[in-house]
Homo-oligomer: A and B are copies of this chain.
Amino acid sequence: MSLSTQPYKGARDFYPEDKRIQKYMFGKLREVVESFGYQEYDAPILESFDIYAAKSGEEIVNEQLYSFEDKGGRKVAIRPEMTPSVSRMVAARRQELPYPLRLYSIPNLWRYERPQRGRLREHNQLNVDLFGVEGLDGDAEIIQVADAILKSFGAKSSDYEIRINSRGYMNQQFESFGLSDDQKHLCLKLLDKQSKIEPNEFEKMFIEKLGDGKGSQLLNFLKSEEVPKPVAELLRVLNLSGVESAAYDPAIVRGLDYYTDIIFEVFDTDPENNRSMFGGGRYDGLVGLFGAEPVPTVGFGMGDVTLQNFLEAHGLLPGLGPETDAAAILIGDVYAKAQAVVGEFRKSGLKIAVDSSGRKLDAQIRSAVKSGVRYAIFIGEKELQSGRFQLRDLKNGTEKELPKGDIVSAIQESRAG
């Protein structure tokens, strides 16, 4: 019996053509976040189970966590999100680190769930976090980074909407209505599910759970169009920072338990795909869970599956060919002798794949075409003696005999063009 060639369910194999897209996306992400002064960090994909039990929310911990006991009896988990890991790392060096501290990572994350469009069991997620800035300017920067990322891929402001709310403001309102902690929690849960429920059903549930008086008060508050002061101020700063697609939305809640104030979600405005792509917010309490003095923190996570869907839907992914510049096609048994000239091509910066299969010329050429490489360079005894080589453009079939240096410049020019 032979082994299955399928990857684990809900997880992805990346063949070079897939990996190229990921590398393109991650390259842009790194470029943008680094332009804002963020620096990359990383942490192990296995963490102690406890760090999720604390604050990641019931659904994740009870139903979606890949957790098990290691051979030493430690309860461990494959990380479902990065925020607990980065909070742990900041707590470990709370005193030594320089603030404002700007950190980013693109970790691989796992959740056990039913695979569906835009949601797999594993994905990579850009995590961008700003530690040590208490005020709205920090919130503004984080949202500005999210906006700059989408624009860097060529998205227009009208392609997406950044919906902002304030948990801090909501909590104040909940308190003014006299809600208990349990009721507050319940309200957030209901709001989080709002988009999946019929409006009538939603209102009925509110009244049912909170009683006539408080329920109606809350529903009125949720319908009010008045923008809370902190959100209005944030929108003003965002506007001055060139962020045009931000707006207040009292229905934004975010599933995770640890958010403490400003939260936001970015929606695709395409009517075919009008859903939340990613989001984030302020979570000032998490570092404190690790025994360190709390650090004000705001951040967001952006998954690569959702991002790629968005870019594809809006036609924003470029065609990407292989990184390899040329296939060296060997005429006769010249592998060893060809090494010197191939070495020179490589030193000049060319990426050259040598066909060392020993097959006939046409088989070598067919493979080169199949691989998608742009050029073929023919190398045989005659060429090695004369120092002149045939360069064939496999895209349009043209061929030229050129000395080494001209081959290098011809390929470099075509790359730039």
Residues in A lying within 8 Å of B, measured CB to CB: 2-9, 11-16, 19-20, 22-23, 34-48, 50-51, 54, 63, 66, 68-72, 74, 76, 78, 88-89, 91-93, 98-100, 102-103, 108, 110, 112, 122, 132-135, 137-138, 140-141, 144, 236-237, 240-242, 289-292, 322-324, 327, 335-337, 339-340, 343, 346, 350-358, 367-368, 370-371, 373
Contact = CB atoms under 8 A, between A and B. Distances in A.
Nearest to A356: B137
A290 B324 CA distance: 28
A394 to B, nearest CB: 12
B352 A35 contact: yes
Nearest to A40: B19
A371 B98 contact: yes
A8 B46 CA distance: 7
In the complex this chain forms, how many copies of it are found?
2
A23 B51 contact: no
Contact of A290 (B4, B71, B141, B356): B4
Nearest to A42: B14
A112 B70 contact: yes
Contact of A324 (B7, B39, B54, B89): B39
Given A2-B290, A3-B51, A137-B358, A76 B8 contact: yes
B41 A14 contact: yes
A19 B42 contact: yes
Given A2-B291, A5-B88, A13-B42, 14 more contacts: A3-B54, A7-B44, A7-B47, A9-B72, A23-B40, A34-B324, A35-B352, A36-B352, A37-B353, A63-B71, A100-B353, A237-B336, A241-B339, A241-B343
A19 B44 contact: no
A48 B132 CA distance: 43
A47 B8 contact: yes
Contacts of A76: 8
A5 B141 contact: no
Contact of A7 (B7, B35, B43, B343): B43
Contact of A291 (B3, B337, B346, B350): B3
A47 to B, nearest CB: 6
Given A44-B122, A100-B367, A292-B5, A93 B50 contact: no
A70 B11 CA distance: 13
B367 A37 contact: no
A76 B74 CA distance: 18
A16 B39 contact: yes
Given A35-B352, A240-B339, A336-B237, A41 B16 contact: yes
A122 B46 contact: yes
Contacts of A137: 335-336, 356, 358
B88 A3 contact: yes
A354 B48 contact: no
A138 B354 CA distance: 10
Contact of A135 (B22, B93, B324, B358): B358
A138 B103 CA distance: 42
B43 A14 contact: yes
Contacts of A354: 36-37, 141
A236 to B, nearest CB: 7
